[in-house]
Structure 1
Amino acid sequence: MPSLFRRKSADLAEPATEPLTPAEEEAEAARSRGYTPSKGRETPKRPATGRRPAGAVKALSKEEAKAVRRQRRAEAAAEFRREGGPRDRGPERLLARNVVDSRRTVGTWFFGGALVVLIGSNQAMPPVIRLASNLLWGALAIGVVIDSVLISRKIKKLVRERFPNSTQRMGSLYVYAIMRSITFRKLRTPAPRVAIGDKI
């Protein structure tokens, strides 16, 4: 008795496909790429041109990818340190930075003095130290105001001389210069391009 689960060898054979005639091959070549041929005919193979061979690009490990990201961040930080951001663009801004960087400013001691005043003003301190702290705070505030006025006047004069057609708002330029003047020189961004005492 033949087995019910056994298939004849003829059943296992793949159905034969009809070969294309020369006229049909030309018609197939003229059809669009999205066309699907009818069943029973061999699907034309597309040329594999333009494809990258498998394994051509080596995948980076986690450590390598982390090192690449770290290097890119360091390069971006160095570029920002040299060139600054969008708010630092323009010849007027460069002039204001040079004016501030070419002189010693009272503002560079402002935050350090503020820390001393904060400690000295503590109620646990003797009255003499608290009085000295308050006097120091007043002297720093007056010094910053006078320094800011002098910087602003010099910037205004130089901008009018060198950039008579400038559309830069002077108030914004003054604030930009004053904020730079109360920042420690080593922490200024962009980095100073002139030395203290250089003529601007």
Structure 2
Amino acid sequence: MSPFRRKSSAPVDESVTSVTPGEASAPARRSYTPSKKELGRETPKRPVAGRRPAGPTKPLSKEEARERRRRLRAESSAEFRREGGPRDRGPAKLLARNVVDSRRTIGTWFFGGALIVLLGSNQAMPPIVRLISNILWGVLALGVVIDSILISRKIKKLVQERLPTSGERMGSLYLYAIMRSITFRRMRAPEPRVKVGDPV
């Protein structure tokens, strides 16, 4: 037989190929790591940051833009009515609001009485009307002063008992409560959380 005989190109059946014992027991190469594709897995695709919607956005008409602004203002006003602003935050401010909202204050009649006094003090009015207007103004002013003192004393007592380390200045807390006491209950912001007569 010639040593230069060409090998057959026919496929070799691996099932019947003889394997030596050394080859059968040889471990797999340690440096080989199967890919995720070979293991039947696929790498998940990351979402594209800032991806824009597929279709172009339609510009708002003047009526739609006006309605959108009106809706945003209403939502902002409702949120302020519920939560208030930065000056209304803190447990001491909440306690002061509850003290004011739990009682009937003379200050709620202050602006209405001031309007009556302004009309009654007109020089065209009879002297008796002007006199009654001045007396009413004095009574309202005295009532607001007394009510403010009582509210401030109660706030000071409760803050010292419940919030001794609040760090809130008592003068600003008194002024905050007094200004709320002369505001109509329905116009107060944040809205009252307690009813008149509820314990604080």
1:115 matched residue in structure 2: 115
Please, what TM-score do these two structures have when normalized by structure 1?
0.72
1:176 matched residue in structure 2: 176
Amino acid at match of 1:91: P
Question: What CA distance in whole angstroms lies between the structure 2 residues aligned with 1:134 and 1:148?
Answer: 21
SS at match of 1:114: helix
Aligned residues: 151
1:141-175 CA distances to partner (integer Å, 9 max, x unpaired)? 11000000000000000001110111000000000
Q: 1:52 to 1:199 in 2, by over 3 A?
A: closer
| 2:133 is equivalent to residue 127 of structure 1 | no
1:63 matched residue in structure 2: 63
Please, what TM-score do these two structures have when normalized by structure 2?
0.72
Q: 1:51 to 1:184 in 2, by over 3 A?
A: closer
Query: Offset of 1:62 from its aligned partner?
Result: 2.2
Query: Offset of 1:116 from its aligned partner?
Result: 0.6
| 2:183 is equivalent to residue 162 of structure 1 | no
Question: What CA distance in whole angstroms lies between the structure 2 residues aligned with 1:121 and 1:82?
Answer: 39
Question: What CA distance in whole angstroms lies between the structure 1 residues aligned with 2:53 and 2:176?
Answer: 55
1:103-158 CA distances to partner (integer Å, 9 max, x unpaired)? 00000000100111111111111111111111111110110000000000000000
Question: What CA distance in whole angstroms lies between the structure 1 residues aligned with 2:78 and 2:62?
Answer: 24
SS at match of 1:191: coil
Question: What CA distance in whole angstroms lies between the structure 2 residues aligned with 1:132 and 1:160?
Answer: 42
Identity of matched residues, % = 76
* Structure 2 unmatched ranges of 5 or more: 1-49
Query: Offset of 1:53 from its aligned partner?
Result: 7.6
Q: Which runs of 4+ in 1 moved over 4 A?
A: 50-55
1:74 matched residue in structure 2: 74
* Structure 1 unmatched ranges of 5 or more: 1-49
Greater mean alpha carbon deviation, residues 55-64 or residues 80-89: 55-64
1:84 matched residue in structure 2: 84
- The structure in which a higher percent of residues are helix is 1
Query: Offset of 1:64 from its aligned partner?
Result: 1.8
Question: What CA distance in whole angstroms lies between the structure 2 residues aligned with 1:58 and 1:90?
Answer: 44
1:86-114 CA distances to partner (integer Å, 9 max, x unpaired)? 11010100110010000000000001001
Q: 1:146 to 1:58 in 2, by over 3 A?
A: same
Q: 1:103 to 1:55 in 2, by over 3 A?
A: same
Greater mean alpha carbon deviation, residues 66-75 or residues 188-197: 66-75
Amino acid at match of 1:155: I
